């Protein structure tokens, strides 16, 4: 009897465990993108030895094929700094109309960190603020854009976390859309590559990311001043497509760069680098382009969970106030055969697993009563 009860309890725990883990939204078993793509600080490449770089983590991938061609600690969860603005852009770009006017506020101007120069009472367009966000990494521009969208900064954070999950970026958690060193905020070199891949499929994202110079409104409506893109790759690497740089004291240098040569579009992401990040990015890109024919993939950039829904007209929210995540497609990840069997098992209600042991237990419990009747 004790053995049977122990077996029943063990079965219930084994079944309930995955159900709890799945309900909590935990990641599928195994590293996303392939077994070689772990958080370990080892370099993974097949076909040629990549150049040494100073970043604690990096990924080099083909944007078009999704093949990861070299990596180092790609899933290490690190502070993203302003490279997180790529995810902010992925959320805001389809929601905001570029010609909409936005009036700068004290909250915009008072934000800490890098700024493009958003002044209280001055009028801007959404387009200008996106330029300030990409080129100057303006936290003030990010705050103004978030405040202009429905729900403000808190809603943008929620949408960013949901977008990360939809893209398969399970290493990412957002608490501040500017990328500042906020508690509980982290991402990975792998996830940054996913953001870049998704962004470069949008013409507006790609245009902002590759713009070298823009003119930004000056205070007091006194003309404009020139703003240069902080991504030096755009100015000294042939075929560069830009994307985004980042730096904070705790994150140190972070980087997303992309370039197109010989019919291939590559993205390189780096995190926690002390210095020389543009040179290291250039070396990784050149090495990959040079050895492209003999490199074998060491992993893949996962595809988005589902096809994106029909786009809403610009400037209109995708959901009604208070609807939360209702109507948002749920994330789906490609499963290997073992995971597929587990997934099928998890679809069976928990009571269905508990019923057979309970019925068997009832049979055993009835037997002693019958024996007692015979003794009387």
Please state, in angstroms and as integers, the Cα–Cα distance from residue 27 to each residue in 23, 167, 332, following that order: 11, 13, 11
188 is catalytic: no
Q: Which one is catalytic: 85, 115, 163, 232?
A: 85
Structure tokens at 139: 């936290």
Strand pairing report for 67-72 and 43-45? antiparallel
Nearest CA to 5 among 355, 352, 360?
360
85 is catalytic: yes
Q: Which one is catalytic: 72, 82, 114, 165?
A: 82
Which position has the token pair 């040569």?
Answer: 261
Separation between Cα atoms, residue 43 and residue 313, nearest integer Å? 44
Largest Cα separation within the chain, whole Å, is 106
**Containing H/E element for 127?**
helix 126-135
47, 68 contact by CB (below 8 A): no
| C-alpha torsion angle, residues 52, 55, 60, 66 (rounded to 10) | 150
137 is catalytic: yes
- What is the per-residue DSSP string for 336-364? -HHHHHHHHHHTS-HHHHHHHHHHHHHHH
**Containing H/E element for 227?**
strand 224-228
Partners of 70 in the β-ladder:
45, 60
Q: Is 173 helix (H, G, I), strand (E, B) or coil?
A: strand
Phi, psi for residue 176 in degrees, rounded to 5: -150, 115
Q: Is 141 helix (H, G, I), strand (E, B) or coil?
A: helix
DSSP label at 84? G
48, 295 contact by CB (below 8 A): yes
Q: Which one is catalytic: 72, 114, 137, 232?
A: 137
Residue 244 annotated as binding site? yes
Partners of 217 in the β-ladder:
224
Report the binding-site residues for substrate: 244
Catalytic residues: 82, 85, 137
Tell me the binding residues. 244
């Amino acid at each position: 009897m004790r053995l049977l009860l122990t077996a029943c309890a063990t079965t219930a725990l084994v079944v309930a465990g995955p159900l709890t883990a799945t309900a909590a939204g935990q990641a599928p078993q195994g590293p996303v993108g392939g077994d070689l793509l772990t958080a370990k600080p080892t370099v993974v490449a097949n076909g040629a030895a990549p150049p040494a770089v100073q970043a604690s983590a990096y990924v080099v991938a083909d944007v078009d094929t999704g093949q990861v061609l070299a990596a180092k600690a790609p899933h290490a969860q690190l502070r993203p700094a302003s490279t997180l603005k790529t995810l902010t852009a992925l959320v805001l770009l389809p929601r905001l109309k570029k010609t909409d006017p936005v009036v700068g506020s004290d909250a915009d101007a008072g934000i800490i960190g890098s700024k493009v120069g958003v002044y209280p009472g001055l009028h801007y367009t959404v387009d200008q603020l996106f330029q300030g966000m990409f080129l100057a990494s303006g936290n003030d521009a990010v705050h103004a854009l978030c405040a202009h969208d429905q729900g403000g900064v808190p809603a943008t954070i929620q949408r960013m976390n949901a977008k990360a999950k939809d893209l398969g970026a399970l290493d990412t958690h957002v608490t501040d859309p500017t990328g500042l060193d906020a508690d509980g905020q982290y991402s990975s070199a792998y996830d940054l590559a996913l953001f870049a891949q998704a962004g470069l499929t949008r013409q507006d994202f790609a245009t902002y990311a590759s713009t070298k110079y823009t003119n930004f409104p000056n205070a007091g409506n006194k003309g404009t001043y020139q703003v240069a893109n902080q991504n030096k790759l755009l100015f000294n690497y042939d075929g560069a497509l830009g994307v985004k740089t980042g730096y904070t004291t705790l994150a140190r240098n972070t980087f997303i760069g992309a370039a197109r040569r010989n019919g291939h579009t590559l993205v390189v992401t780096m995190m926690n680098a002390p210095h020389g990040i543009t040179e290291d990015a250039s070396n990784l890109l050149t090495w990959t382009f040079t050895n492209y024919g003999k490199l074998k993939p060491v992993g893949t950039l996962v595809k988005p969970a589902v096809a994106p829904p029909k786009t809403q007209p610009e400037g209109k929210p995708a959901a009604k106030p208070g609807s939360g995540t209702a109507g948002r497609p749920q994330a789906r990840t490609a499963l290997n055969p073992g995971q597929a069997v587990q997934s099928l098992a998890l679809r069976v209600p928990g009571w269905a697993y508990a019923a057979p042991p309970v019925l068997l237990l009832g049979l055993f419990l009835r037997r002693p009563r019958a024996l007692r009747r015979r003794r009387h």
